Amino acid sequence: MPVQFPAVSRWLHWTMAAMVLTMLGIGAAMVVSLGDYHALVSIHRPLGIAILILVVVRFVNRRLNPPPPFPATMSSLERRVATASELVMYGLMALLPLVGWGMLSAARYPVVLYGSLHLPFILPHSPRLYALLRQAHTILAYVFFATFMAHLSAILFHTLIVRDGMLKRMAPWSIRPSQKAS
């Protein structure tokens, strides 16, 4: 039986997975939407900030609750790639909201979360900075989607082809520790 991630880590993983996929979907949809644009943007901003807060929690949690060892079915190269992709996703979960917040600040769009609750500007009013960060926001989102697809592919391959129970390491439910065979 594979060793599971701690419960807190699994909770953070699936909560943030849902949030991030929602964000990628909303982001893709809102830039081509007329009628739903306002509603989508109104969700996109606070959800992004929520991810920014949770990724800090998650980073601290990773220090407190290190991931279990990789299964033996992973080569050392695969392990390095997996760790690197995890770090890339952690980085993007922090960077994308920061770039979003920064670009709204540079454009002097109020960073409204809900009602009168809003965040301060973190950059000066600058068209160039806005244009640059707006573009970076899109590019980073595509990188995130590509990384997510690679992550999903690897998990599916391990779970369905290698059959090493990779998905169970992160299963939302606890796996009963099985009796040691032999």
Q: Which residues bind another protein (CB under 8 A)?
A: 1-2, 24-25, 28-39, 41, 69-78, 107-110, 112, 115-116, 118, 120, 125, 127-128, 130-131, 134-135, 145, 148-149, 152-153, 156-157, 160-165, 181
Closest CB to another protein among 7 and 36? 36
Q: How far is the CB of 4 from another protein (least distance, A)?
A: 14
Q: How far is the CB of 54 from another protein (least distance, A)?
A: 22
Closest CB to another protein among 59 and 71? 71
Closest CB to another protein among 31 and 57? 31
Closest CB to another protein among 57 and 160? 160
Closest CB to another protein among 61 and 92? 92
Q: How far is the CB of 148 from another protein (least distance, A)?
A: 8
Alpha carbon distance 120, 181 (integer Å): 58
Q: How far is the CB of 98 from another protein (least distance, A)?
A: 19
172-175: list long-range contacts, CB under 8 Å, 24+ apart: 172/10, 172/11, 172/14, 174/4, 174/7, 175/1, 175/2, 175/4
Q: How far is the CB of 60 from another protein (least distance, A)?
A: 26
